[in-house]
Amino acid sequence: MSRIIYFNEEAHRYSDDLGNIYLSTTTLLGQYEEAFDTKGQAQRLSRLGTGIYKGKSVSQIEAMWKASTVAACEKGNKTHDELELSVKETSMFMNAVKSLRTYDEDNHGRLFTLDDVLEMDNIKPVDTKIFYDRVGYKYPIIQQTIEYYTSNGWLLFAELGIYDEQRLISGMIDLFVYKHPYFVIVDWKTNKDDIAFESYYFKRDNEGQSTDVKVIKRNDYLKYPIDDLINCKGNKYGMQLSVYASMCEQRGLIFAGGIIFHIRDQYVPNKYGKPLRDKNNNYVVDEAKGKKVEVVIINHLKNQVDRVFADHLKRNHGEGIQYKITM
């Protein structure tokens, strides 16, 4: 049964036209990884008192980390918005969304969802020349990818809502590439570190700089029932895209690929060849080099998604997935 999905951006909360509240995909998957012990790590580094943490209290270290996270999020959101608007505004997509724009009783905006895509006709492809002029010139590999798909008859939809009304899970796909019955999911990532498929870290020296000594974390896996996956960025992002893919497949579509474009600054190297950290633990950006884009191909982790969906229902059995079927 098709639903109208609303999104409260401030609370990052999804709901539908029947009043059901949906769990975001990021929140769902966050239950299967160990939370970072911010307080414990700050206490440890304060006691050590070396490098950039010398003379800093626990609260000062926590504040430093928070400020760094906020700055990274703001920069990442700016990149996301730039790409999403460039896709929307260089096609007929924006006018289609405007015609569907409605609000619920709390003034939360309706999401343009996959259901809407499947019901629409005469959507024109992205104008790749205008896209190039807007943002494509900055990211040649993204421009080439969009040109490839549009020239072969695929349609592109940015920030597309997707949901599972039976399990009350929802999310937004950064870029949905569609040619019936096939689809590709594209995600923009802007985190500063590599998207790796192993769990490791680089040792730091007494000044807090990362060295070239790589330490592999042993027995570091995600939580049951996906404890066959190493706890790493690659698998976490892979699960996110795979949850979206499974929800698309529920509508009879066929997964044709997952792509992450990892867009990030280039950094001034330290003496070990790793990004140089400043006194606030931020990487020092090499402004002369601009941004680089790395492409990460994501496979559909369908078996793991099925396990998460089953576990989600089991966790909520008896207490909570309470469906409203009418207002």
Q: What is the domain partition of the chain in residue ranges? A: 5-37+69-316
pLDDT band at 153; cut points 50, 70, 90: very high
Q: For the segment 54-97, what is each residue's pLDDT rounded down to a tens digit? A: 788 878 777 777 777 666 676 666 776 777 677 766 765 554 44
Question: According to the model, what pLDDT value does residue 101 have?
Answer: 46
The number of helix segments (H) and strand segments (E) in the chain equals 9, 11
Question: According to the model, what pLDDT value does residue 103 have?
Answer: 47
Which amino acid type is present at position 65?
W
Q: What's the whole-number average pLDDT of the chain? A: 86
Q: For the segment 288-307, what is each residue's pLDDT rounded down to a tens digit? A: 998 999 999 999 999 999 99
Give percent above pLDDT 70 in the chain: 86
Query: Alpha-carbon distance 104 to 16, whole Å?
Result: 9
Query: With contact defined as beta carbons under 8 Å apart, do 284 and 269 qualify?
Result: no
Query: Alpha-carbon distance 278 to 266, whole Å?
Result: 15
Question: According to the model, what pLDDT value does residue 72 have?
Answer: 65
pLDDT greater than 80 at residue 320: no
Query: With contact defined as beta carbons under 8 Å apart, do 32 and 185 qualify?
Result: no
pLDDT greater than 90 at residue 28: yes
Dihedral angle, C-alpha 157, 158, 164, 170, nearest 10 °: -170
Query: How far is CA 20 from each of CA 31, 47, 166, 176, rounded to the nearest angstrom?
Result: 21, 47, 11, 25
pLDDT greater than 90 at residue 104: no
Question: According to the model, what pLDDT value does residue 279 have?
Answer: 86
Strand 254-265 and strand 109-110: the pairing is unpaired
Ranges 36-45, 80-89, 117-126, 205-214, most confident: 205-214
Question: According to the model, what pLDDT value does residue 47 have?
Answer: 84
Question: According to the model, what pLDDT value does residue 98 have?
Answer: 45
**Average pLDDT of the residues in 148-155:** 94
Question: According to the model, what pLDDT value does residue 79 have?
Answer: 75
- Give the list of residues 6+ apart from residue 136 with CB closer than 8 angstroms, or none: 86, 128, 142, 143, 146
Query: With contact defined as beta carbons under 8 Å apart, do 183 and 168 qualify?
Result: no
**Average pLDDT of the residues in 235-241:** 98
Give the tokens for residue 92.
């007929």
Q: For the segment 190-235, what is each residue's pLDDT rounded down to a tens digit? A: 998 999 999 999 998 988 899 999 999 989 999 999 999 999 999 9
Higher pLDDT, 174 or 102: 174
